[in-house]
Amino acid sequence: MKKLYIMRFIFPLLASLVFMACSDDDEPKDENPVTSVPWAKVENLTGDVYNSQVINDKLTILGRNNLFFDVQLDAVSNPQSIVNFLTRLGRYRLPLSQDIFISRSETEVFLFPINAVNRDNATVLDLKTFDPNFSTFEDIPFWQGDVMGMDPAGTTVLVPYRTIVNGLATSNPNYLLLKIGLEEGKVVVREHKLIKEQLRDYYVETTSIRSMRNFFMVVIEGSTYKINHNGDLELIGNTALRGVERENQIYFFSENRDSGKVTVTNADINGGNRRAIGEFDLSLETLSAGYSVVDNQIIGYSGKNIFLITLAANSVKAELLNSQGMEGSISSMNKVGDKVLITLIRSGQGGAVTKPLANFIDKIK
């Protein structure tokens, strides 16, 4: 009887030990762990950097005072000064394209070949020649979006502006849509269209512009509109959406601070056929995030935080990545050769940092 009692005690204990051992073995393990490598500063790129883009394997960098074209990270050189062509230096983020650079003063728009930013090569547009009621441009600071729109191919430009009629400010923003191109080393305007939609019966402003391949995302009073390259305007969201392009699809991100969630929607390359994919938790690390695509992976960034977006059937996951060695707020992110380049704004001392692509997806455990 005593022996039977002991066996009844031992068998459950052995079973528990076996279960615990099996549970440890069954835990998923990363078969290809990433070695943690801190971000390294690009020593010869100093000062705040507001934008960068890689098109046709050429890197363009926009600083506070200069534009750098066809940059080599180990020898940043040939700065093109923009101080005479951009008002309120340090306030605005300009879009970049493969062949053309645009900027503005308080009354004029400048268009240049991207490798020849100077007065001799400038095409200067006085907005009053397009709209006699022009009064001023919309004021969109860099932390909200680009001050104007331009597609990456440099064929279409969107200029937001205000008008005064009979001495009174009009309630809705206006847009000048330009079809442009290079001819004999100069930028020419081939077509233009004025977009004057009466969206509200009270004063509202354009608070953000983001340029996609085939359309512009424009935020007006917290709602997002799509303006295609023909000048057609369409409401696509009742919140301020962020968007990114991957594999001929557009992914939209919408924050809901009441529910604490970020909803992800995808669409075709023209922003149509939109459908919800899923959502992830909104946090301090993902709040007001921008999004980029690096090596075909969607990466979010907010402040100096970076996170990987993983999409699955009806689900979305956001995982923080290592940002050790980074100081400042991220302004852009690109794959440059076998490295990842992140540009930063930090009280005039932002610059840029890099990390090997192989060490980039370094998840914080």
Alpha-carbon distance of 294 to 297, in angstroms, equals: 5
Question: In angstroms, how far is the first alpha carbon of the chain from the final one?
Answer: 51
> Sign of torsion, CA 14 15 17 18?
positive
| DSSP one-letter string for 3-70 | HHHHHHHHHHHHHHHHHHHHHHHHS---SSPPPP---EE-TT--S-EEEEEEETTEEEEEESSEEE-S
- Number of CB atoms found within 10 A of residue 121's CB: 15
Alpha-carbon distance of 105 to 90, in angstroms, equals: 13
Three-state SS for 127? Answer: helix
Task: State which H helix or E strand residue 2 sits in.
Answer: helix 2-26
Domain residue ranges of the chain, discontinuous segments joined by +? 83-200
pTM of the model: 0.90
Decide: 161 and 175 in contact? Cβ < 8 Å.
Answer: yes
Residues 6+ apart with CB under 8 A from 364: 319, 320, 321, 322
**Side-chain half-sphere of 162: how many Cα atoms within 13 Å?**
18
Q: Whose CA is closest to 323, among 294, 286, 363?
A: 363
Q: What is the pLDDT at residue 16?
A: 43
pLDDT tens for the 365 residues of the chain, in order = 444 343 443 434 344 433 344 433 333 455 567 899 999 999 989 899 999 999 999 999 999 999 999 999 888 678 999 999 999 999 999 999 999 999 999 999 999 999 999 999 999 999 999 999 999 999 999 999 999 999 999 999 999 999 999 999 999 999 999 999 999 999 999 999 999 999 999 999 999 999 999 999 999 999 999 999 999 999 999 999 999 999 999 999 999 999 999 999 999 999 999 999 999 999 999 999 999 999 999 999 999 999 999 998 889 999 999 999 999 999 999 999 999 999 999 999 999 999 999 999 999 98
The long-range contacts involving 39-43, CB below 8 angstroms and separated by at least 24 positions, are: 39/323, 39/324, 39/325, 39/326, 39/342, 39/353, 39/354, 39/355, 40/325, 40/353, 40/354, 40/355, 41/325, 41/351, 41/352, 41/353, 42/73, 42/76, 42/341, 42/351, 42/352, 42/353, 42/354
Alpha-carbon distance of 220 to 87, in angstroms, equals: 23
Buried b (16+ CB within 10 A) or exposed e, 180-196: beeeeeebebeebeebe
Q: What is the pLDDT at residue 246?
A: 97
